A and B are shown apart, each in its own frame.
Chain A
């Protein structure tokens, strides 16, 4: 069991003052093996905070990030899965699942983690799975009026990944889960 936190679009301090207290109390150091961050933190303080939760931190650059050195996209392997990260402002049209699928083919990954729209999505297609963890702070977005704070925790176990999405709705944390399996013969997840 490998726990991977997928989180992003916090937009601290431009659009939000801080992570919701209920999220902060859930995110405890030592429990998570990897952190995948889609970008738009935006300041070093948030980077350091993530680093304190888990030293294996992977970040891609959002258009408001203070640190210019984060890469545009990144790929990594965790267990049997290849994961790709990209903030998503580079993929036009924004939030378009077919265009994201194209990026996924290009990066050749089973799971593509992307952000920018501040809307949680877990979408399965021929080439694999696209996951958007949403905005962890519920930051303003031109895509949707009411953004509920959300983040994703992936439990990677062999050829199976369980995606837990945590959403803060009306002050309560609601959890949902989605299962994805990867067949060893074909190269993609179904």
Chain B
């Protein structure tokens, strides 16, 4: 192979040398106005172009050298004063050149001068030249010769407004000339593939490719001819070009030329000739990448539509969408072996076009999706990842365009397309949908739409048959479920009946999610329902409707069932918190029995399921805090609850925890608002119990560690004494507080005391507080005077 390249270099060098050599003598002849000699040497020079040894790339280099020299010759030809021969005679003279190739180059060169002289109509000369060039049938040589003809004739076409237009010369003649040259060039180009042995096929393809612009140039020229209006384009240009494209039956040429037509001629023309253009597609060779051709056409048309609003009616008038849609259908039908990714890419292009040109025609959009579904129907599950990516692109396009998932939800074929994705990609798409909702802050406001939405994201909501949740990466799974949890808050309607329907649908779907998903989805659903309860709280009476109206009671029934599901996980701590939230909400609705039931559930969980001591401490504080705010309980029920609660508090594992929980319980007997319970005695009982526990803690510390225990507990209890003292609990006297302060001081100063800056600081700040209250004067000041230290 290397040898071959070396040889080519050698031949090229020889060729160039030959040209230079003859050019030198040609220049001498030109300088001395010697026409005969000039012709002789130029013919010799042009003989170098007769070589068959060079590849197109190298031939081009040789050709360019010759081209440059021919310009000088042309200048000489023009000056008939210099050589004394008329251009008509010159035209005759050059035909005596020995070999046909030099002869024709010279003829073209003279032809250029001839046309310029206007001694004959341009069309006559052009016709003659384009016919004569048939004499060279060698592909490469012929192509370059005709390319030369095209180059020199470019500015001499009888276009409208050009100097070469006349009665005999019209734009049609110009068109005819270019078309003929184009047709012949294409034939030569196609012929190249039949040359040479098969093993050089790849090299040949590459070489052919290098020459394609020579052929395509003609189309450029056609597009530049002013006189070619839509009519001429439609009747003559497109018809003839397509004829050649289809008839040449060469896939390389067909692909290139179709694309060339699309890129070179105005979009307006394409719209008006859409049927013709599309009609050619099924006639192309099956190996032609027609989907790329169609995609590029649709892209151009999309951009055209985007450029100006005035253009849009035209699209409707020519029924662009229908034609494109049908054409694509035909192509897919015809090319049975087209892989899935090819078909889907086509639909993606069509959808992009539709969204760009007809965004308001949701029926069109749905149609495209439907066509894609039909194609996918024959493929049970797509295996190809590229095809998958295209399906995702197909589904994402409407989301991005409409910025509003609600519109996408109305497309009936949307979920059907999603069904064809594999599990992994389906979930990716579901996440894309959720993110689109979150990003655009869209609210989904009807039960029906929620149902459709959940159908779309069902891959995230529950396990597909056979799929193994354990296989999923934990982080990814968490992300997914948190996204679903967040999504639930975007499902909202002001109207309570509709909102309740929405909650029921969400419940139906999330309950099927299994124990792994419930801890994520249940809280969101619960709080969404509790929000609805808040809204209904104020409303009186029944709402008129066919079904049972939305009432807090009904919602609480739902809530009980929803939270119960957490036992399957199990998630007792979460369930306890949610039960307490519901109890508070029931309190707000004045539903004593419902609230009682929720508390019962919470207590049961506490007793039976929450064993971890830290968790117990938090749980008991939540219970105390919630219970303290309950005002719906009658005396008996309240007593039962507080009794249980103080009991749990006293039975916590660690003494300090016990102490704190018990003194927290003191607040259960004192509620600050006007109707609230204010049982001073029981408050004091709690505080005294807390003191006993603190004492016990001290003794234990002495025994177990030989040092004093947490003095700070006493300071905390002291603060509680002060709290109730201030609130007016008669059972708490100044003397009692004084005693407590003394006790603390004793403990702190005892031999076994370990220095504890926290306790010291707390005591100091507490004493400062007492001092501050004393100095307040008035009622408070008097009260605090009772405390002496």
- Other 15 A-B pairs with CB < 8 A, given A92-B628, A108-B758, A142-B584: A13-B482, A15-B523, A18-B486, A90-B618, A92-B624, A92-B625, A93-B629, A93-B667, A94-B628, A98-B726, A102-B720, A105-B765, A127-B765, A142-B585, A187-B765
How distant is the Cα of A187 from the Cα of B769 in the complex, in angstroms?
12
With known contacts A99-B723, A105-B719, A108-B762, A43–B628 Cβ distance under 8 A? no
Flag if B530 contacts A140 (CB, 8 Å).
yes
Chosen A-B contacts, 20 in total, with CB atoms closer than 8 Å, are A13-B483, A13-B489, A15-B527, A17-B438, A17-B487, A17-B490, A45-B482, A63-B622, A92-B624, A105-B719, A105-B762, A106-B719, A106-B762, A108-B761, A126-B768, A126-B773, A127-B769, A139-B527, A140-B530, A187-B768
A159 within 8 A of B: no
B67 within 8 A of A: no
B416 within 8 A of A: no
Of residues A90, A92, A127, A139, which shows the largest number of chain B Cβ atoms within 10 Å of its Cβ?
Answer: A92
How distant is the Cα of A149 from the Cα of B604 in the complex, in angstroms?
35
How distant is the Cα of A187 from the Cα of B760 in the complex, in angstroms?
15
Flag if B577 contacts A64 (CB, 8 Å).
yes
How distant is the Cα of A62 from the Cα of B762 in the complex, in angstroms?
24
Flag if A63 contacts B618 (CB, 8 Å).
yes
What does the 1/0 interface line of B618-646 toward A look like (CB < 8 Å)? Answer: 10011011001100000000000000000
Residues of B within 8 A of A187 (CB): 765, 768
Interface residues of B in 723-782 (CB under 8 A from A): 723, 726, 758, 761-762, 765-766, 768-769, 772-773
Q: Nearest chain A CB to B697's CB is how many angstroms away?
A: 17
Flag if B667 contacts A14 (CB, 8 Å).
no
Interface residues of A in 1-18 (CB under 8 A from B): 11-18
What does the 1/0 interface line of B524-547 toward A look like (CB < 8 Å)? Answer: 100100110010000000000000
A21 within 8 A of B: yes
Interface residues of B in 566-580 (CB under 8 A from A): 577
B430 within 8 A of A: no
Q: Nearest chain B CB to A114's CB is how many angstroms away?
A: 13
Interface residues of B in 494-545 (CB under 8 A from A): 520, 523-524, 527, 530-531, 534
Flag if A17 contacts B769 (CB, 8 Å).
no
How distant is the Cα of A92 from the Cα of B664 in the complex, in angstroms?
6
How distant is the Cα of A15 from the Cα of B581 in the complex, in angstroms?
12
Interface residues on A, range: 20 to 34
Flag if A102 contacts B723 (CB, 8 Å).
yes
A49 within 8 A of B: no
B247 within 8 A of A: no
B99 within 8 A of A: no
B370 within 8 A of A: no
Residues of B within 8 A of A43 (CB): 478, 482
Q: Nearest chain B CB to A125's CB is how many angstroms away?
A: 9
At the interface, is chain B mostly helix, strand, loop or mixed? Answer: helix
With known contacts A13-B486, A17-B489, A140-B531, A126–B769 Cβ distance under 8 A? yes
How distant is the Cα of A64 from the Cα of B573 in the complex, in angstroms?
10
Question: Closest residue to A98 on the B side, CB-wise?
Answer: B723
Residues of A within 8 A of B487 (CB): 17
Residues of A within 8 A of B486 (CB): 12-13, 17-18
At the interface, is chain A mostly helix, strand, loop or mixed? Answer: loop
Of residues B490, B726, B762, which shows the largest number of chain A Cβ atoms within 10 Å of its Cβ?
Answer: B762
How distant is the Cα of A128 from the Cα of B726 in the complex, in angstroms?
19
A89 within 8 A of B: yes
With known contacts A98-B726, A105-B719, A145-B534, A90–B621 Cβ distance under 8 A? yes
Residues of A within 8 A of B588 (CB): 142
What does the 1/0 interface line of A59-89 toward B look like (CB < 8 Å)? Answer: 0000110000000000000000000000001
Flag if B667 contacts A92 (CB, 8 Å).
yes
Number of interface residues of B (CB under 8 A): 49
Residues of B within 8 A of A105 (CB): 719, 762, 765-766, 769
Interface residues of B in 312-351 (CB under 8 A from A): none
How distant is the Cα of A96 from the Cα of B667 in the complex, in angstroms?
11
Question: Closest residue to B775 on the A side, CB-wise?
Answer: A126
The 8 A-B residue pairs with the shortest CB-CB distance, nearest first, are: A13-B485, A14-B523, A17-B486, A105-B765, A142-B584, A13-B486, A17-B489, A102-B719
Interface residues of A in 169-189 (CB under 8 A from B): 187-188
Q: Nearest chain B CB to A189's CB is how many angstroms away?
A: 13
Flag if B765 contacts A16 (CB, 8 Å).
no
Contact with B489, one of A16, A99, A101 (Cβ below 8 angstroms): A16
How distant is the Cα of A127 from the Cα of B765 in the complex, in angstroms?
8
Residues of A within 8 A of B455 (CB): none
B785 within 8 A of A: no
How distant is the Cα of A180 from the Cα of B22 in the complex, in angstroms?
101
B441 within 8 A of A: yes
Residues of B within 8 A of A145 (CB): 534
Residues of A within 8 A of B667 (CB): 92-93
What does the 1/0 interface line of A10-39 toward B look like (CB < 8 Å)? Answer: 011111111001000000000000000000
B716 within 8 A of A: yes
Residues of A within 8 A of B664 (CB): 92
Contact with A14, one of B485, B762, B766, B769 (Cβ below 8 angstroms): B485
Question: Closest residue to B670 on the A side, CB-wise?
Answer: A93
Interface residues of A in 136-190 (CB under 8 A from B): 139-140, 142, 145, 187-188
How distant is the Cα of A129 from the Cα of B585 in the complex, in angstroms?
31
Residues of B within 8 A of A17 (CB): 438, 486-487, 489-490
How distant is the Cα of A126 from the Cα of B581 in the complex, in angstroms?
34
How distant is the Cα of A23 from the Cα of B385 in the complex, in angstroms?
40
Residues of A within 8 A of B524 (CB): 13-15
Flag if B621 contacts A92 (CB, 8 Å).
yes
Flag if A63 contacts B628 (CB, 8 Å).
no
Q: Nearest chain A CB to B461's CB is how many angstroms away?
A: 15
Residues of A within 8 A of B762 (CB): 105-106, 108
What does the 1/0 interface line of B579-601 toward A look like (CB < 8 Å)? Answer: 00100110010000000000000
How distant is the Cα of A108 from the Cα of B715 in the complex, in angstroms?
13
Flag if A21 contacts B629 (CB, 8 Å).
no
Q: Nearest chain B CB to A84's CB is how many angstroms away?
A: 12
How distant is the Cα of A139 from the Cα of B524 in the complex, in angstroms?
11
Question: Closest residue to B666 on the A side, CB-wise?
Answer: A92
Question: Closest residue to B490 on the A side, CB-wise?
Answer: A17
Of residues A11, A43, A93, A187, which shows the largest number of chain B Cβ atoms within 10 Å of its Cβ?
Answer: A93
